[in-house]
Amino acid sequence: MKTLAKENCPLLPGCKSVCVAVLCAVAAGALFAQTKTPAKTWTSPKTAWGDPDLQGIWTSDNSFGVPFERPRAYGNRKSLTDEEFAEREKENKLLASSIEAGVTPKAGYWLQHEGVDYQPYSASWSEFAHQTSRQTSLIVDPEDGRLPALTPQGMMLRMAAIAAARKKPRPESWEDVNMFGRCITRGVLGSMLPVMYGNGTDILQSPGLVVIRYEMIHEARIVPIDPHDHPHPHLPAGARTYMGDPRGHWEGSTLVVETTNFIGGRVGIGPDGAGVKYSEDLRLVERFTRMSDLSIQYEVAVSDPKTFTASWTVAFPITEEPGYQIYEYACHEGNYAMADILSGARAEETKEGVQPAAK
Partner 1 sequence: MKVRCISLITGGAWLLFTLPALHAQAYRAPRGADGHADLSGIWQPLNTANWDLADHSPQAGPMWQTGAIGAEPAGQSVVEGGAIPYLPAALEEKKNNFASRRTNDPEAKCYMPGIPRANYMPYPFQIVQSPRGILFVYEYASANRLINMGKPVEPVSDTWMGTSNGHWEGDTLVIDVTGFNGLAWLDRAGDFASDKLHVVERFTRTDRDHLQYEATIEDPSVFSRPWKISMPLYRRVEKDAQLLEFKCVEFAEELLYGEYKKK
Nearer to partner 1, 91 or 127 (CB): 127
Rounded CA gap, 312 and 139, in Å?
7
Least Å distance, CB 200 to partner 1, is: 12
Site residues for partner 1, window 144-183 (CB under 8 A)? Answer: 172-174, 182-183
- Is the CB of residue 248 less than 8 Å from the CB of residue 263? no
Which of 73, 322, 327, 351: binder of partner 1 (CB under 8 A)? 327
Nearest to 186 by CA among 110, 243, 249, 111: 243
Which of 55, 131, 295, 311 lies at the binding interface for partner 1 (CB under 8 A)? 55
User: Quick check: 164 and 176 in contact, CB under 8 A?
Assistant: no
CA distance 181 to 59: 22
218 counts as binding partner 1 under rule CB under 8 A: yes
Per CB under 8 A, 226 contacts partner 1: no
Whichever of 145 and 200 has its CB closer to partner 1, that residue is: 200
Options 1-9, 13-21, 60-68, 328-336: segment touching partner 1 (CB under 8 A): 328-336
Q: How far is the CB of 106 from partner 1 (least distance, A)?
A: 30
267 binds partner 1 (CB under 8 A): no
- Kindly tell me the number of DSSP H helices and DSSP E strands found in the chain: 6, 10
Which member of 4, 23, 96, 338 binds partner 1 (CB under 8 A)?
Answer: 338
Largest CA distance in the chain: 105
By C-beta, is 23 or 338 nearer to partner 1? Answer: 338
DSSP string for residues in 260-322: E-BPPSSSBSSGGG-SSBP-TT-EEEEEEEEEETTEEEEEEEEE-TTTBSS-EEEEEEEE--T
| The Cα angle at residue 156 between residues 159 and 68, in degrees rounded to 5 | 65
Is 265 near partner 1 (CB under 8 A)?
no
Which of 217/296 has CB closer to partner 1? 217
201 touches 192 (CB < 8 A): yes
Among 202, 226, 280, 320, binds partner 1 (CB under 8 A): 202
Q: Provide CB contacts within 8 A for 194, sequence distance 6+.
A: 59, 60, 61, 62, 63, 64, 65, 66, 127, 271, 316
Instruction: Please tell me whether residue 237 binds partner 1 under the rule CB under 8 A.
Output: no
Judge contact between 206 and 227, C-beta under 8 A. no
**What is the spatial distance between Cα 1 and Cα 31, in angstroms, rounded to a whole number?**
10
Contact between 357 and partner 1 (CB under 8 A)? yes
**Which of 142, 160, 71 shows the shortest CA–CA distance to 303?**
142
Q: Which of 232, 281, 292, 352 binds partner 1 (CB under 8 A)?
A: 232
Rule CB under 8 A: choose which of 7, 49, 115, 230 binds partner 1. Answer: 49
Instruction: Please tell me whether residue 184 binds partner 1 under the rule CB under 8 A.
Output: yes
Q: What radius of gyration do the chain's Cα atoms show?
A: 27
Check binding of 185 to partner 1 (CB under 8 A). yes
- Binding window for partner 1 (CB under 8 A); candidates: 87-95, 111-119, 234-242, 279-287: 234-242
Restricting to residues 103-142, name those near partner 1 by CB under 8 A.
none
d(CA 181, CA 204): 28
> Smaller CB distance to partner 1: residue 55 or 303?
55
Query: Which position among 235, 251, 281, 292 is part of the footprint of partner 1 (CB under 8 A)?
Result: 235
Contact 199, 64 (CB under 8 A): yes
294 is a site residue for partner 1 (CB under 8 A): no
The minimum distance between CB 69 and partner 1, in angstroms, equals: 28
Q: Which residues bind partner 1 (CB under 8 A)?
A: 47-49, 55-56, 172-174, 182-185, 202, 204-207, 209, 211, 213, 217-220, 222, 224, 232-233, 235, 239, 241-243, 325, 327-328, 330, 332-333, 338-339, 342-343, 345-346, 349, 356-357
